Amino acid sequence: MQVQEPTTAHLSVSLPLTLDGPFEITVEHSVVGIVVTERATLTRLGPEWDVPGVYLLLDRPDLVGRWGAYVGKAASRGLRSRLREHLKTRDHWYRAILIRRDSKKTLNSAEAGWLEGHLYDLLHASGQVQLHNGNRPQDDSISVEEQLGLRTYIPPVLHTLHILGHRLTATPTVAGRRVFDLRKSQRGKTTREASRPVVAASTPRARKTTPKGRKSTKTRSGVELIDLVREGLVPPGTVLVPASRAHTDTAVVNPDGSLQFRGTQREKVSNPAKELAGYEVNGWTFWRVETPQGKVSLDALRKRLQQQRAASASSPPQ
């Protein structure tokens, strides 16, 4: 039986009757709790939000969609108390997002610290956000298993940012107005390619070759990165690390299956991998994901999903 892939995120929004106060966002089958408040209505936030957690202080987006933010955590003092302090100490923000665990067991300081650092990395990698933090916050004292559990907090936060108009991908604009991307010209060439001079047949253009002993490992598959995202094998916000220790740059997975790499959005996993390696390379085998069992390649996760789909297709309908 073919399993229908999820294509939407189910968020429930609880608005105040007066429509002029903080509003809460809950996620189906999740312990993630989120509240959005305007700076002017922060004092109306209830005491139930004086718990440990993480928060984002947001600046208004500019005409080209860039915006500023401050990522912080609250431990002993609680989120509500911490943000009330920011009313006096920080004047750049107009809106805040507060994140907590909606259960009897609240986030501890180490968990909040790890989540704070991960959100910082995600915003920094987007190239769209000017962070007001002086230094990168971090707490790597929790286990890999605990980190994987906290990664489930990331998609709801990204969806909330999207709903509020704070995008992590650039939108082409002119004087604040969105424009179409018309780089494609006749015969599928870009305008840059079309403007290149024609090279005579007697001077053939040199081909790019891979280093001796290396092979170009392009493969075709019915599974794309967005499929791994939808199935939860690679959640949005996952940090991809190179297989080789010779490379230190990382990439971050976006909710739409693209990657954030060096401040820009990349549609293919092999594009940033080639940029790092300096030659043609298969991004599916180049990138690794941290799991409790160690680092696993995207290719291994892709094969796992292919096997799951094959087993599902061959099983008789219930």
- Please check whether residue 210 is in contact with residue 279, taking contact to mean a CB–CB distance below 8 angstroms: yes
**pLDDT band with cut points at 50, 70 and 90 for residue 8:** low
Strands of the 67-74 sheet, one edge to the other: 11-14, 23-27, 32-38, 95-101, 53-58, 67-74, 129-131
Record the tokens describing residue 241, joined without a space. Answer: 């690390």
pLDDT per residue as tens digits for the range 107-166? 999 999 999 999 998 898 888 899 999 888 878 788 888 888 888 898 899 999 988 999
| Beta strands, E only, the chain | 11-14, 23-27, 32-38, 53-58, 67-74, 95-101, 129-131, 173-174, 177-178, 239-242, 251-253, 259-261, 264-266, 287-291, 294-297
**pLDDT band with cut points at 50, 70 and 90 for residue 204:** very low
**Cα–Cα distance, 192 to 13 (Å, whole number):** 46
- Pick 2 or 257 by higher pLDDT: 257
Whether 6 shows a pLDDT value over 70: the answer reads no
Position 38 scores a pLDDT of 94
pLDDT per residue as tens digits for the range 189-202? 443 443 343 333 33
pLDDT per residue as tens digits for the range 225-258? 999 998 888 888 888 988 877 777 888 999 888 9
- Please check whether residue 191 is in contact with residue 183, taking contact to mean a CB–CB distance below 8 angstroms: yes
Q: Measure CA 257 to chain center.
A: 9
Record the tokens describing residue 218, joined without a space. Answer: 């392009």
DSSP secondary structure letter of residue 99: E
Averaged confidence pLDDT in the chain: 79
Position 86 scores a pLDDT of 93
pLDDT per residue as tens digits for the range 301-311? 999 898 888 88
**Cα–Cα distance, 238 to 240 (Å, whole number):** 6
Q: How far is CA 157 from CA 141, 249, 313, 318, in A?
A: 23, 24, 34, 36
Across residues 17-29, what is the average pLDDT? 83
